[in-house]
Amino acid sequence: MKKLALTMGDPGGVGPEIVIKALYSSEVRYYCAPIVIGDRIVIEEALNLLKLPLTLRIIKSPEESQPALGSINLIDVRVMKKFKKGQPTAKSGRACVSYIKKAVELALNKQVHGIVTAPISKKALKMAGFAWPGHTEMLADLTNTKEYAMMLVGGPLRVILATIHVPLKSVPALITKDKVLKTIRLAMKACDVFGIKNPKIAVAGLNPHAGEAGIFGDEEIKKIIPAVEAAKKEGIPVSGPYPPDTIFHKTYKGEIDIIVCMYHDQGLIPLKMIAFEEGVNVTVGLPFIRTSPDHGTAYDIAWKGVASPTSMIEAIKLAALLKI
């Protein structure tokens, strides 16, 4: 079975809880051999909170792991001596980075087949002095990956983003022919990772009605259409740009495999509307598989025993199925 490293996420958020609940699921055990990367004191407290019949096994490397039902294999990074619940802190930000760095090390050394990351806090990262705006950029930096993209999967929708965590006012200037073309290429790579035969890739426009022949904006004419035409010449099965208010419906009906979206909320709003609890984040372009639940640290419900593990379970299952 594939070994997957599961980073614990922010100690003060729902990460420890959803990781443990996911590992208690028989679905996860059927798909992979999970190894948690985190802090023993946090996982032990979460186990005490949840009262689940799970035994904690402390290991030093994935080679020592045993995929036994009813146990959790943990590589104890030993960063936290105590932690605050329900809020971001500089300590939790540093801890999250330590877990992720360890998981990346294991993946690059081929000791695990992929990484599944529990939610972290962008505010905690900033408080700890890190400039990364999120997991995606951090993982790209740690692996020296130049061409990468955030992809979200939920229900019948798969969306890949040309721009990620930037202010909306900055998006038009960031949409270039080169940027869109690179994202289309990554969409094609994602089709290979997902094992999609005869893929159909669609590109969403930036403006209403995809610009309406330049009436509502000329980014489609000057940047997006040239990128689509260049991709076609490379043999990529892509079409567009399409009006953003219609292409998602076509994809929902199964006519499109992946939509190339121009900015964060363009892709995430429709996906979270239909698959809020089941959505999975996939980083395309890394030298290993990486997925995560498509939600945040949820400090407001953290450490109350009520967080749903559904998205984490789906992220683990998907990571076990994907291939690079």
The reply to whether domains 1-145+286-324 and 147-284 share a CATH topology is yes
- Specify the CATH number for 1-145+286-324; select among 3.40.640.10, 3.60.21.10, 3.40.718.10, 2.60.120.260: 3.40.718.10
Asked if residues 106 and 289 have their Cβ atoms less than 8 Å apart, the reply is no
Query: Hey, how many other C-beta atoms are within 10 angstroms of the C-beta on 302?
Result: 23
Q: The pTM is what?
A: 0.91
Distance CA 102, CA 107 (A): 9
Helix residue ranges per DSSP H, the chain = 15-23, 26-31, 40-50, 90-108, 122-127, 135-142, 171-174, 177-194, 219, 225-233, 244-252, 264-275, 310-321
Q: Per-residue confidence of the chain (324 residues) as pLDDT tens digits?
A: 899 999 999 999 999 999 999 999 888 888 899 999 999 999 999 999 999 999 999 999 999 988 777 899 999 999 888 899 999 999 999 999 999 999 999 999 999 999 999 999 999 999 999 999 889 899 999 999 999 999 999 989 999 999 988 899 999 999 999 999 999 999 999 999 999 999 999 999 999 998 888 888 899 999 999 999 999 999 999 999 999 999 999 999 999 999 999 999 999 999 999 988 889 999 999 999 999 998 899 999 999 999 999 999 999 999 999 987
Determine the pLDDT at residue 133.
85
Amino acid at 201: I
- Specify the CATH number for 147-284; select among 3.10.50.40, 3.40.366.10, 3.90.480.20, 3.40.718.10: 3.40.718.10
The full set of domain ranges for the chain reads 1-145+286-324, 147-284
